[in-house]
Structure 1
């Protein structure tokens, strides 16, 4: 079968939809004839990717940002749970974040994305499976491939989604971050983590805790500089519960990865983790950020699925 390109026309502030007709010719020169499906609603890419994999499609390409990749991965993992595990993931980054592409060392150029897909060289990467509480109080299950975090990061995601895009993506994110910091609260989080069958339990006092398969989130913040997407472990980064100004200073260090040396920041590894918010009065400000998408809230249970998907990207 031809590769299927799942295109999110709203990614990149709508630029992907406007420019895709121009992108298609160089894509087909590199990959040959392709089939194209445009998403029409949130989570539509999940359905498209799942059905493509169940139909035996060898390659599904996410054309969009981190949210688009997240949805395609969820569809491929749903198909994998039903026995269709052979579909490879390709990425043509066309969004504003590109955090997973940074971890995978995919250069942000159309010709480089196409060359990685055309090479046929695939590398297996880990995927996180998690259960969580939706905003309506019901439970759900999903997957993530890059970073799942809880706290201020999820609040910022929600505020970004409510900010008019007429301001531009950078300004919208900056404004949401400032508002998110002001509204953030320290969560008391019971954490039960295990690695190789050995468990530990403790209580965290934090504004943000991140469970990292990839290195970057938030459009280039190197939240877990030690992370590898194929090593069978999550890197957990607890940014601590410092007062607002000191927390802002710690967060700024994520652009270089130096925050991990700050005494407020804690790091440990696991392959399974449970997080429960003990002071539920702050749950309105302690939300989930899942591969850059605002998805729900604690409690969550996360397990690592090792080498679950093959992605067309340079060897790590």
Structure 2
């Protein structure tokens, strides 16, 4: 499944990739034509019982494909086994600007090396099973955000629509602009609710991870929740206040070589099976780096043994 707008590939490189895969497997190529098309194609592939779905694109393409695969999951009573046992495997060739999911799996950043590793994995039958996160009715592979980080992504997407190139510098400028000029830092509105636990109230923003890292700044990992893992539940980092001094300290802790964000304004939860974020006012919301609008309530759950990936 090929996203023809993948930012780090050309038509020629996509042809090279297709020929390389076709030399090893019985391959059917599908090109995405619009946002959401990869979800439809992946669901059809799951329903047809294909063995492996290969994506060439960025994290947005991967997210769409994963949601399509999960939507195509057989739901009949006689269907046995975990979702990973019943669905096609996923192989991801990195073709976007950041490729967090592929890199979190240990794949090389560049698509030629990633293709070589995937071909080797297919030949050797090498794969691993991972869990996913789910936000209401949509799945995510590595992260979600409720508040500031999602608003930053919205700013970046707006800039890209105006012709700007996605770079670490663009993200940094967007973060500063959002923090200093567009965030209501004095009136935190978010509560985190867990079954059987007292609610955590007066939170300003929340980052949710299904694995580590959360993202990359160029080649550098950004790790608010360094213990997050595909093999566990969800991890959360939330800030109670967005005061300049405490926020700067948390950011510096996150960027350190041994990240371990702590402080009075920091809430961290590890390996959480489910929780709900509720806000008194609409908050920006993102999954896997795609801005999805504003929400006032989102229920998050961990979905173990959800998907088999070639790596």
The TM tier, using the shorter chain, reads 0.7 to 0.9
- Match runs of 1:39-188 below 5 Å: 39-80=32-73, 82=75, 85-108=86-109, 109-110=113-114, 111-131=116-136, 141-164=137-160, 166-170=163-167, 171-182=169-180, 183-186=182-185, 187-188=188-189
- Match runs of 1:228-239 below 5 Å: 228-231=229-232, 233-239=233-239
Deviations 1:142-199 (A, max 9, x none): 11121112111110111111103643211432332222223223432121124xxxx2
Q: Answer yes or no: is the 8 Å Cα contact 1:146–1:214 preserved in 2.
A: yes
* Equivalent position of 1:10 in the other structure: 5
Distance in structure 2 (CA, Å) of the matches to 1:215 and 1:239: 19
Deviations 1:221-275 (A, max 9, x none): 22221011012x1111114423246424422432335252344322113101111
Which deviates more, 113-122 or 100-109? 113-122
Offset of residue 26 of structure 1: 3.2
Where do 5+ consecutive residues of structure 1 fail to align? 1-5, 132-140
* Equivalent position of 2:310 in the other structure: 312
* Equivalent position of 2:241 in the other structure: 241
Where do 5+ consecutive residues of structure 2 fail to align? 77-82
Distance in structure 2 (CA, Å) of the matches to 1:159 and 1:217: 18
Which deviates more, 268-277 or 79-88? 79-88
* Equivalent position of 2:80 in the other structure: none
Q: Answer yes or no: is the 8 Å Cα contact 2:224–2:259 preserved in 1.
A: no
Structure 1 counterpart of 2:16, from 12, 16, 22: 22
Distance in structure 2 (CA, Å) of the matches to 1:225 and 1:9: 33
Task: Tell me, yes or no, if structure 1 residue 217 matches structure 2 residue 217.
Answer: no
Q: 1:176 is paired with a residue of what secondary structure?
A: helix
Q: Answer yes or no: is the 8 Å Cα contact 1:192–1:273 preserved in 2.
A: yes
Q: Report the TM-score, using the length of structure 1 for normalisation.
A: 0.82
Q: CA RMSD in A?
A: 2.3
Distance in structure 2 (CA, Å) of the matches to 1:70 and 1:121: 22
In structure 2, the CA distance between the partners of 1:113 and 1:246, relative to structure 1 (3 Å rule), is farther
Offset of residue 81 of structure 1: 5.4
Q: Report the TM-score, using the length of structure 2 for normalisation.
A: 0.83
